[in-house]
Amino acid sequence: MKKRFWKKLGTCAVAAAMAVTGLTACKSGGSSSDSDSVDTVRIGTQEMPNDEGIAKAKNYLEDQLGVKVKLVKFDSGKDVNNALKANSIDFGLEGTTSAALALSTGIDIKVIWIHEVLGNIESLAVRKKDNIKSIADLKGKTIAVPFATTSHYCLLRYLNSQGMSESDVKLLDMDTNSAYAAWKRGDIDAAWVWQPALQSILDDGGEILVSNGDAAKEGYMTANVEVVSSDFAEKHPELVQKYIKAMQEARDLYSKDENEAVSALSDQLGLTADEIKTQIAGAEWVSAKDQISSKYLGTSDKVGELADNLLDTANFLKDQKNITSVPDKSTFEKAVAPEYIEAVLGE
């Protein structure tokens, strides 16, 4: 997404969640003083009100990493993937859809952190006057959605979970701004989009029917994640851990002084405090401890459900002809890397 937009899903990298290296591996894979061997850490970022947004606004990244940080702004996970492939960044923020795409196209990354699990920040909006109360009521209706995104993934998977298929509706591939314009013209009956376009639609006679959070309850989670080049992570594990510490510091600020955190995000993103709070409320910030539960990354000994989620997302991308083949499940299992969180929590 662009400024004022939440980024699209993605996550995944080539780490070894099943490698029985755990905490020791994280601490022994690189030099004992990573900051002595790295002058600059290059972080691909997208503008959104989350923990990384706070860390950028409060300079926590440079403070924790102890080296110069070069922030490279991107508008989409696709751009982040291109930069990772070109080795022009070390870290990148993207959605799970983009992460699955990266792993399916040979980009060597590790998934190390979940910034937020998407809830009603990204939703299917319908017209109040149409009295649409269930997914079944959408049969034959025209729905706008940006293709090959988390919204598209959730829409198709949720339709299937309710006994419907893509052929039961008419889908139009539109970016979020175009979807809102089509809504105003009356060209569409519904749209599955994210903020702030979602709010514009809601303010113009719309209401939420289902959300990414509802899709997650059916087993189709979408999230924004942090990925890192596998080569960088293997050479500089302590810097990966320090990135996670910066995210924890940002979350601590939000917990202890929400107004200060929101003010910092507001200044950085050009959004009002209310807009910031609405967007944050529309997603779940999963704690570091919970991230290494079976529901998410899992542990070094047993990979979590995130690997299955990425595999399912890759199958979705293949169905949409965005990729020609899907790697073995082991590719996604090795990509999920909980050992860095484990190391931080073990200190």
Transcribe 217-244 into DSSP letters: HTT---EEEEEEEHHHHHH-HHHHHHHH
SS3 helix, strand, coil % of the chain, rounded to 5? 50, 20, 35
Mean pLDDT, the chain, whole residue set: 91
Same domain, 235 and 294: yes
What's the CA gap between 297 and 96, in Å, rounded? 13
Helix or strand or coil: residue 255? helix
295 and 155 together in one domain: no
The DSSP letter of residue 304 is: -
- Gyration radius of the chain over CA positions: 20
- How large is the angle between the packed helices 150-161 and 306-319, nearest 10 degrees? 90
Note whether residue 249 is domain-resident: yes
Shared domain for 202 and 226, answered yes or no, is no
Q: Flag whether 72 is in a domain.
A: yes
- Establish if 1 belongs to a structural domain: no
- Judge if 193 and 318 occupy the same domain: no
- Is residue 3 domain-resident? no
Residues 237 and 88 in one domain: yes
pLDDT at 50: 97
Assigned token pair, 271: 């959004």
- Looking at the structure, tell me whether residues 141 and 240 fall in a common domain: no
Q: Work out the average pLDDT over 133-159.
A: 96
On the question of pLDDT at 89 being above 80, the answer is yes
Q: How many domains does the chain have?
A: 2
Rounded Cα–Cα distance for residues 69 and 55 (Å): 12
Residue 83 lies in a domain: yes
Ranges assigned E (strand) in 30-148:
40-45, 68-73, 91-95, 109-118, 122-127, 142-145
Burial of residue 126 (number of CB atoms within 10 Å: 0-12, 13-18, 19+): buried
Cβ contacts of residue 290 below 8 Å, gap of 6+?
A: 296
301 with 324, same domain: the answer is yes
Is 289 within the bounds of a domain?
Answer: yes
Do 160 and 251 share a domain, yes or no?
no
Segment 193-220 shows an average pLDDT of: 95
Of 19-33, 54-68, 149-163, where does mean pLDDT reach its minimum? 19-33
Looking at the fold, whether 189 and 240 belong to one and the same domain comes out as no
Which residue among 192, 217, 242 closes a domain?
Answer: 217
Q: Give residue 36's pLDDT.
A: 59
Q: Name the domain boundary from 217, 233, 263.
A: 217
d(CA 219, CA 308): 10
Give the domain CATH number at 148.
3.40.190.10
pTM (predicted TM-score): 0.85
CA distance 81 to 95: 11
How far is it, in rounded angstroms, from Cα 157 to Cα 166? 9
Q: How confident is the model at residue 28 (pLDDT cuts 50, 70, 90)?
A: very low
One domain, residues 251 and 107: yes
Indicate the residue among 183, 217, 251 that finishes a domain. Answer: 217
The answer to whether residue 14 sits within a structural domain is: no
User: Within this chain, do residues 255 and 271 fall inside the same structural domain, yes or no?
Assistant: yes
Q: How far apart are CA 125 and CA 10, in angstroms?
A: 23
pLDDT tens-digit series, residues 67-80: 999 999 998 899 99
The whole-angstrom separation of Cα 106 and Cα 201 is 38
Confidence check: pLDDT of 18 > 70: no
CB atoms within 10 A of CB 22: 17
Answer yes or no: are the C-beta atoms of 189 and 124 closer than 8 Å.
no
> Is the same domain home to 236 and 270?
yes
| 267 found inside a domain | yes
Domain, as residue range, for 184? 122-217
Whether cis (ω within 30° of 0) applies to the bond prior to 196 is yes
